[in-house]
Chains A and B, each alone.
Chain A
Amino acid sequence: MAYNASLYIFIFLPICLAVYQMTPEKHRWKVLLGFSWLFFYMISGKLIVYLLGTTLLTHYIGIWLTWLKTREQMEIGNADRMQKKEIKKKYQKKRRAVLFLGVLILLSVLACLKYYNFFVHNTEMILDRFSLAFPLETRQVMMPIGISFYTLQAIAYMADVYWGKIQAEENPGRMALFLGFFPQIMEGPICRYSDTAESLYQGKSLRYENISDGYVRIFWGLFKKKIVADRLAAPVGVIFGHYTQYHGAVVAAAAVAYTVQLYMEFSGCMDIVIGSGKLFGISLPENFRQPFCARNASEFWRRWHITLGTWFKTYIFYPVSVSGPVKRWNQYGRKHAGKYVTNLVTSALALFPVWLCNGLWHGAKWSYIFYGMYYFTLILLGTAVKPVRERILQACHIREDAPYWRVLQIGKTWVIIFTGELFFRADGFRAGLHMFRSIFRGFDIRQFWDGTLLGFGMGRADLIAVAAGCIVVAVVGSVSERKGNVIGRLGKVRTPLRWCAYYALILAVFLFAAYGDGYQAVDLIYAGF
C-alpha cells in the first residue's frame, strides 16, 4: 500500500481519521500507533519485528542515558569543584559508551540487511584476484520498509538525549509512535523528536481547516506523481534500461527526465505525507524548498531532501568538525599551514564522511558511493575557489544578486544536478560512465524538438501533459520562493478562488493522471532506499 494508492487515500486514511476522532483525546495517540503498525504489517509483514526491536532499544538507551545523568547529578550534589570535574568526566565516559552501544547495534542491523551482499560480493571479487575463496555467500535479504529512515530517527533521538537537548521518553508506546508514525515511515521526512513528538501525542480533534489543507496537499502530491512522474517513468526506464543503444541528446534528455521524475515523485510523496499528518493536526518538517532555484551544489542540498541533509549536518558534520583529531589538526594547521589551508582541510575532513554516508545511505552500490563523492568534490571545490571567485567577480564588476548572473548560476547548477542524477539512476557506475560519455557522441540539439524523443513509451499527449504539469509546478514553486508556501496558504484565499483551485486540482488529477491502458503503477522510488 503506497501513499499514492487509492486504498491509502480513500480507505485507510478516512477509517483512521474516523476511529481517531471517536476515541477520547488522551488515547488518540494509541489509535495512530495501532494504524501505524497495521500499515507497516500490511507492507512488510513479520519484518515488523525489526521496527519493534529498534523501538525497544531506542527507548531503553534513552532511559539508560537519563538514569546515568540522574546518578551524576546526585553524586555532584555534595562534591567540591575538583570532585565535580572527576564525576562529570566519569559519567560522560559512561554515557558515551551507552550511546556508542545503541548506535552500534542499530547500524549493525542496518549493515547486515542493507550492505551484507555488497560486502560479500566485493570481498569475493578482491579475494578472487589472489585465487582465494571467501567463506560467506550472498543471500536473499528481506528488508523492512523505512529501515533507513527510522534508524536515522532513532540515532538522532539517542544523540539528542545524550547531549541533553531532550528528555528521554518514558513510555515505550509513545516511542513506537515517534519511530513508526505511518505517514512518514516509508520515505521520511526524517523527523527529530523535538519537532514532532509533542504534536503526535497531543490527540488534537479533527478540524475543517486541517482536513481541507491536508487533502489539498495530498492532491498536490498526486498531481506531481500521477501527471508528471508516472509518465516519465516509461521513457526513463527504456533509455536507462538499454543505454548502450542510445547516445547524444537522447541520453541527455533521459538524465533531465529522470531528475524531473525523481523530484516530482519524491516531493509529491512528501506532499502526501505532510498532508496526511496535517489531517490529524500534526506538522511534519518540509523536505523540499524549490531545489531548482539553487545557485550551487551546496545550496541545492539545503533545498533537496532537507531533513536528510540536516541529519548529516547535525549528527556527522558538526560532531566530526569538533572532534579531537580535527581540533588537533586545526591547532597544528593554524601554526604551520595558514588559515586558508587549515580551514579547507578541516572542511574536507568533516565533509568526507557526510558524503560517503549520503552515498551509502541510498544503497549498497558503487554508483551511489560515486554520487556521494561527486557532491563531496564539487562542494569542497566551491569552498576552495571561493576567495579567487570573489576577487574575479569584483574585478569584473559582477554583482552576486544581478539577475543575469543568478540565471547563469542556476543553469550551471542544473547541469551539476542532471549529471549527478544520471550516475544515480544508471545501472551501476560503469553504465553511468558509459552514458555520460555517450552524451558527447553524435550530440544533435535538434533531437530535443524534432520528435526523436517521442516514442519511448510516451506520446505527444503525454509530453504535453508532462510539460503543462512542470509549468504549473514551476509557477507554484516560483511564487512560493518569493511569497512563501502557496499550497499551504490556499485555505486562506477568498472562497470562490479557493474552490476554483480545489476543483482544478482534483479534476486535473482525475482527468490527466497516467491511468488506464498503457500505464503501469509505478512504485515509489525512495521507498526502495
Chain B
Amino acid sequence: MEELMEILREIDDSIDYEKETALIDSQLLDSFGVITLVAELEENFDITIEAAEMVPENFNSAEAIWKMIQRLQEN
C-alpha cells in the first residue's frame, strides 16, 4: 500500500489520498492522471489493466485502487 501511496503522491502531492474517496467523481484525478497511474501500476505491481477496469469505482480512492491491484494479481 505504501508503494501505491508513493506513486499517487508523485502524480499529485496536493491530494490527501488517505481520506479522499472521490478522486474521479470530484475530478481530482483527470484522465491524463489516470493513464499515468495505470502505466505506473502495471510497471510496479506486474499487473495488466484492461479497458474494462477503467471505471471510476476502481480509481476513486487509494483503497479502491489497492483492491483492484490485489484482485488483478490473484488472476
Interface membership of chain B positions 36-60, coded 1 if the CB is closer than 8 angstroms to chain A and 0 otherwise:
1011001100000111101100000
Bound CA span A165–B52, Å: 8
Q: Chain A contacts of B49 at CB under 8 A? A: 322
Q: Chain B contacts of A342 at CB under 8 A? A: 39
A334-B43 in contact (CB<8A): yes
B52-A327 in contact (CB<8A): no
Known: A163-B52, A165-B52, A334-B43. A298 touches B30 (CB 8 A): yes
Q: Smallest Cβ distance from B51 to chain A, in angstroms?
A: 4
Q: Chain A contacts of B52 at CB under 8 A? A: 163-165
Bound CA span A319–B39, Å: 13
Other-chain residue from B34, B36, B43, B51 in contact with A163 (beta carbon distance below 8 A): B51
Which chain A residue lies CB-closest to B53?
Answer: A322
**How many B residues touch the partner, as a band?**
10 to 19
Q: Chain A contacts of B27 at CB under 8 A? A: 302
Bound CA span A491–B54, Å: 37
Q: Smallest Cβ distance from A385 to chain B, in angstroms?
A: 13
Interface membership of chain A positions 389-408, coded 1 if the CB is closer than 8 angstroms to chain B and 0 otherwise:
00000000000000000000
A204 lies within 8 A of chain B by Cβ: no
Q: Smallest Cβ distance from B74 to chain A, in angstroms?
A: 12
Which chain B residue lies CB-closest to A382?
Answer: B32
Q: Chain A contacts of B34 at CB under 8 A? A: 318
Q: Smallest Cβ distance from B9 to chain A, in angstroms?
A: 15
Q: Chain B contacts of A298 at CB under 8 A? A: 30
Interface size of A by Cβ–Cβ distance < 8 Å?
23
Which chain B residue lies CB-closest to A85?
Answer: B75
Q: Chain B contacts of A323 at CB under 8 A? A: 51
B15 lies within 8 A of chain A by Cβ: no
Which chain A residue lies CB-closest to B36?
Answer: A343
The residue in A164, A165, A314 that gathers the most chain B C-beta atoms within 10 A of its C-beta is A314
B54-A322 in contact (CB<8A): yes
Which chain B residue lies CB-closest to A164?
Answer: B52
Other-chain residue from A165, A327, A343 in contact with B32 (beta carbon distance below 8 A): A343
B43-A321 in contact (CB<8A): no
The residue in B31, B43, B50 that gathers the most chain A C-beta atoms within 10 A of its C-beta is B31
Interface membership of chain A positions 424-435, coded 1 if the CB is closer than 8 angstroms to chain B and 0 otherwise:
000000000000
A319-B51 in contact (CB<8A): yes
Which chain B residue lies CB-closest to A383?
Answer: B32
A321-B38 in contact (CB<8A): yes
The residue in A298, A302, A317, A383 that gathers the most chain B C-beta atoms within 10 A of its C-beta is A317
B35 lies within 8 A of chain A by Cβ: yes
B39-A318 in contact (CB<8A): no
A176 lies within 8 A of chain B by Cβ: no
Known: A298-B30, A302-B27, A318-B31. A343 touches B51 (CB 8 A): no
A346-B51 in contact (CB<8A): no
Bound CA span A275–B58, Å: 32
Known: A298-B30, A322-B49, A383-B32. A346 touches B54 (CB 8 A): no
A343-B31 in contact (CB<8A): no
B50-A322 in contact (CB<8A): yes
Q: Chain B contacts of A346 at CB under 8 A? A: 35-36, 39
Q: Chain B contacts of A164 at CB under 8 A? A: 52
Which chain A residue lies CB-closest to B10?
Answer: A339
5 A–B contacts, CB within 8 A, in A order: A165-B55, A322-B50, A327-B42, A343-B36, A347-B32
Which A residues contact B (CB, under 8 angstroms)? 163-165, 298, 302, 313-314, 317-319, 321-323, 327, 330-331, 334, 342-343, 346-347, 350, 383
